Amino acid sequence: MSLTLQQMRDLVREGLGGLDEQDMKDPSVDRLLNLSFWELTSKFPFEEKNLRSEFVTVAGTENYSLATEIETAGSIEMEAFQGMSVVDDEGKAHSLQRATETWLETQYSTAATFRGMPEYYVRRDDVIRFWPVPDDVYTIRVLLLRSLDTMVYLSVEQTGLPREWDELTVEGAITRGHYYNQDYKLAQQAENFRVMKIRTAQSTQAKEEEDSRFAGLIVQHEAPE
């Protein structure tokens, strides 16, 4: 079973000297966990790092708040937002292109009443403005980079990574905690331990992926002459 967010927080505090929630608040622990998590997901090709949410447009409405539409408790972090697509009447998704404020204002000045399926968007913090202005109900798919922030906001309790990588995320947070506390000796010891475990996890994962390719198969071959 994978670790929950709260279990990961508790382990980080324990690894940094048996701290409690008064010594180190959740946002501080989450920041260390996110730095570690983002490092691992940027270095290794985990599809689980991607998180998708959806909302629908309203005919004639051009502005939408991501914080409201995808039911978050706060604004979406810049690092978490990856892009969007719109689903047409046939169920086919089309990527929305990001535009500038200047470009969008030019469109309004030449075709202020134009309506249709959105093709472009402009982002202002957590507010999205579409062009053309939707003329109907369309499903908008938002691609996010999973982080501890999106875990909290979207009520996702686990990272979704293979469970041994949750522990490596914790250990990366511990390394950073020691480093930012300027205890470089403990930081190096923690990092050496983590690197050794990463190598083991990589070899195990590679073997599992290789084994899964042939799971349930009987490979027949001719005996060599």
What residue segments make up the domains of the chain, in order of their start?
A: 5-46+161-208, 50-145
Report which of 70, 95, 90 is spatially closest to residue 80, judged by C-alpha positions.
70
Higher pLDDT, 179 or 44: 179
pLDDT tens-digit profile of 2-23? 788 889 999 999 999 999 999 9
Residue type, 208: E
pTM of model > 0.75: no
Angle at 147 between CA 140 and CA 172, to 5 degrees: 160
The whole-angstrom separation of Cα 44 and Cα 35 is 14
Residue 177 CB contacts under 8 Å (≥ 6 apart), including other chains: 12, 15, 16, 32
150 pLDDT more than 60: no
Q: What is the pLDDT of residue 110?
A: 67
d(CA 100, CA 113): 19
- Summarised one tens digit per residue, pLDDT across range 94-117 is 999 999 989 888 887 666 578 999
Mean pLDDT, range 68-81, rounded to an integer:
53
| Structural tokens at position 20 | 């409690």
User: Backbone phi, then psi, for 212, in 5-degree steps?
Assistant: -65, -25
Mean of pLDDT values over 167-189: 95
**Considering only CA atoms, which of 7, 61, 24 is closest in space to residue 180?**
24
- Among 38-47, 73-82, 132-141, the range scoring the smallest mean pLDDT is 73-82
Q: 3-state class of 73 per DSSP?
A: coil
Instruction: Calculate the average pLDDT of the chain.
Output: 78
Q: Where are the alpha helices (H) located in the chain, listed in sequence order?
A: 5-15, 26-43, 66-69, 101-110, 148-153, 163-180, 184-213
